[in-house]
Homo-oligomer: A and B are copies of this chain.
Amino acid sequence: ADPAVLAEAAAHQDRLTKPRGSLGVLEEVAVRLAGSAGVSPWPQEVTGQMVANFLAGGAVANAFAAQMGASVTVVDVGVAGDLPPADGLLVRKVARGTADLSRGPAMTREQVVTALETGITVAADLLAAGARCLVAGDMGIANTTASAALICAFCGADPAVATGRGTGIDEETHTHKIDVVREALDVNRPLREAGPLDTLRALGGLEHAAIAGFILKAAASRVPVILDGVIAGAAALAAAALAPAAVDHCVAGHRSAEPGHRLALDHLGLRPLVDLELRLGEGTGALLAHPLVCAAVRVMHDVATFDSAGVTDKEA
């Protein structure tokens, strides 16, 4: 391969609107067929800017969705700032972010119910429009802390085990993050003991509640729902705690690098289909798994039986 071409491809990859390196092995594939780099935290204003990018079709999620024949619906359940109205944006803002989970419940009872209902309604509308498979992803800066808290609560895991480094925080920040998760679990102990809905409202983000509702509606409609990374995994724990049979319709799209994600998937009994070190979010890991799910399902419908094809079966 021409090193100049590879260098140019790698440079272009770095200009794309995603954390560098966040597509894991897929980035190497893309650069070899035409680069890679590091990662670090991002300012909060990026959430609104990335929503605009989704709506303009310029994000990685859009490219993956186009490849897989999927449509992208952006739902604002709790972005802190105001988003300008746009085609394809569902403004369902429940609150401008949640309260500090390390000081008390993140959501009120009304907020968690409204966010759950929002997820249910969004899924219902997509199903009514003809969707036969749903994909649950998220976009948010730094929403792995609440995910870790939910995973600890639902899986009985220790914060030091379930809390990851997100996109490359240092040792000190990681220690602080673990402390926040531990405080959140302690201060919200009475709510956690009150049941799964109260656990979700105590420790979750609005996106967790909305995705949990989305999963519950998909499962109630017997439609598969492909889960993205640690945020959707944490939301699925809440959904499964509310309605255990919901897991039957969940597929783990991919395995995130976050340690809590492995705990969540083990607890749910789900094995990820794609394991390529993706750490982007946006539903990208779930979107990659979509054709694999379709292929698995298609085998059941399309493949000939030994009888119909006249192929000799092995000895029983």
Chain A positions 195-217 with a Cβ under 8 Å from a chain B Cβ: none
A16 at the interface (CB under 8 A from B): yes
Chain A positions 1-51 with a Cβ under 8 Å from a chain B Cβ: 1, 9, 12-13, 15-19, 23, 25-30, 32-34, 40-43, 45-46, 49-50
Chain A positions 293-308 with a Cβ under 8 Å from a chain B Cβ: 293-308
Tell me if A59 and B303 are in contact (CB < 8 A): yes
Contact partners of A59 in chain B: CB under 8 A: 303-304
Copies of this chain: 2
Tell me if B67 and A295 are in contact (CB < 8 A): yes
Tell me if B303 and A67 are in contact (CB < 8 A): no
Tell me if B63 and A248 are in contact (CB < 8 A): no
Taking CB as reference atom, which chain B residue is nearest A311?
B49
From the candidates B18, B46, B301, B304, name the one contacting A312 in the complex (CB within 8 A): B46
Contact partners of A34 in chain B: CB under 8 A: 297, 300
A interface SS class: helix
A38 CA to B43 CA, complexed, in Å: 52
Tell me if B13 and A300 are in contact (CB < 8 A): yes
Tell me if A303 and B16 are in contact (CB < 8 A): yes
A315 at the interface (CB under 8 A from B): yes
A155 at the interface (CB under 8 A from B): no
Tell me if B26 and A299 are in contact (CB < 8 A): yes
Q: Would you give the 0/1 interface string for A48-92, flagging 1 where the beta carbon is closer than 8 Å to chain B? A: 011011001111101110111000000000000000000000000
Interface size of A as a range: 35 or more
Tell me if A67 and B291 are in contact (CB < 8 A): yes
From the candidates B224, B288, B311, name the one contacting A50 in the complex (CB within 8 A): B311
Tell me if B58 and A308 are in contact (CB < 8 A): yes
Q: Would you give the 0/1 interface string for A112-149, flagging 1 where the beta carbon is closer than 8 Å to chain B? A: 00000000000000000000000000000000000000
Q: Beyond A12-B300, A17-B309: 15 further Cβ-contacts under 8 Å?
A: A25-B273, A26-B295, A34-B300, A42-B312, A49-B310, A52-B309, A56-B309, A58-B302, A58-B303, A60-B299, A63-B298, A63-B301, A66-B298, A67-B291, A287-B295
Q: Please list 30 pairs of residues, one from A and one from B, whose beta carbons are closer than 8 Å in the complex, sorted by A's number.
A: A12-B305, A13-B299, A13-B300, A16-B299, A16-B300, A16-B305, A17-B303, A17-B309, A26-B273, A27-B296, A29-B296, A29-B297, A30-B300, A33-B249, A33-B293, A40-B315, A41-B314, A49-B309, A49-B311, A53-B304, A56-B309, A58-B302, A58-B303, A63-B302, A63-B303, A64-B298, A64-B299, A66-B298, A67-B298, A274-B292
